[in-house]
């Protein structure tokens, strides 16, 4: 295997599948199957999941709600997704721990770095919910931060598209896909990989990012086996 410890970032929207809101059981089952195949290889795996399928703090702000309140509501949405993923994974026989950036003792453990690393060393899959636990930070930032804290080898950003393009491939058929690109090139070209806080954290800590299509069966395992899938930012 190319990597020993990996952080996988999933968007909340990805869990909607073909639905317009909430969680699609078929998509959840698909992701569970993909993740289990990886876990069965012995890789240490952590996951950060967004909450956009349930609630987004930025959208709440646009409708007149207090931004901080909206962001905390968004964090709770990520915990709902994390609980759904945890339940599905444990149903498939994967030992998991859910750790939250905010205290919700009845539901999950509070994030403590050393404890998270210990869980990974013991072979448990760790899901990080509630983002960083602070308003004004996205779940992309949470993914970068947690990856650095647990000393992950790479951040895998699972999306709907098969990598980073020179323009939006869903709008521009002439968009060019990069197989690999440097942090500096991403910034010079103004490409949208992660929000700037998240991207800068990875850049400053020399943490590679792979953007790939999570919805294509087998992609996740192939990346970890060293196949050239998606776009590597280094």
Query: Taking residues 163-192, what's their average pLDDT?
Result: 88
Q: Percent of the chain beyond pLDDT 70?
A: 99
With a cut of 80, say whether residue 107 has pLDDT above it: yes
DSSP 8-state class, residue 161: S
> Which domains occur in the chain, in start order?
5-233 (3.40.1160.10)
pLDDT of residue 190: 87
With a cut of 90, say whether residue 1 has pLDDT above it: no
pLDDT of residue 161: 85
> What is the DSSP annotation of 125-157?
EEEEESTTSSTT--HHHHHHHHHHHTT-SEEEE
Question: Residue 124, SS3?
Answer: coil
Could you give the C-alpha distances from 228 to 67, 221, 222, in angstroms and in order?
40, 12, 8
Average pLDDT, the chain: 93
With a cut of 80, say whether residue 60 has pLDDT above it: no
Task: Classify the phi-psi angles of 42: left when phi > 0, otherwise alpha if psi is within -120 to 50, otherwise beta.
Answer: left
Considering the entire predicted model, what is its pTM?
0.94
pLDDT of residue 192: 84
22-32: per-residue pLDDT in tens?
999 999 999 99
119-174: per-residue pLDDT in tens?
999 999 999 999 999 999 999 999 999 999 999 999 999 988 889 998 887 788 88
61-95: per-residue pLDDT in tens?
777 888 899 999 999 999 999 999 999 999 999 99
Residue tagged 């994967």 (tokens): 94
pLDDT of residue 2: 87
pLDDT of residue 91: 97
């Amino acid at each position: 295997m190319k990597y020993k410890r990996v952080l996988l970032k999933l968007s909340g929207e990805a869990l909607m599948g073909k639905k317009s809101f909430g969680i699609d059981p078929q998509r959840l089952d698909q992701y569970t199957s993909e993740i289990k195949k990886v876990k069965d290889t012995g890789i240490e795996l952590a996951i950060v999941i967004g909450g956009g399928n349930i609630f987004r703090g930025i959208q709440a702000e646009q409708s007149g709600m207090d931004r901080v309140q909206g962001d905390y509501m968004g964090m709770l949405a990520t915990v709902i997704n994390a609980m759904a993923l945890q339940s599905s994974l444990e149903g498939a026989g994967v030992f998991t721990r859910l750790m939250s950036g905010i205290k919700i003792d009845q539901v999950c453990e509070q994030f403590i770095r050393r404890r998270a690393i210990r869980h990974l060393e013991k072979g448990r899959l760790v899901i990080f919910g509630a983002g960083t636990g602070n308003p004004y930070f996205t779940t992309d930032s949470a993914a970068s931060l947690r990856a650095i804290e647990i000393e992950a080898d790479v951040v895998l950003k699972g999306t709907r598209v098969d990598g980073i393009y020179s323009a939006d491939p869903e709008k521009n058929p002439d968009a060019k896909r990069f197989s690999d690109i440097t942090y500096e090139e991403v910034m010079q070209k103004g490409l949208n990989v992660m929000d700037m806080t998240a991207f800068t954290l990875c850049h400053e800590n020399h943490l590679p990012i792979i953007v790939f299509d999570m919805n294509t069966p087998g992609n996740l395992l192939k990346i970890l086996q060293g196949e050239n899938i998606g776009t590597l930012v280094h």
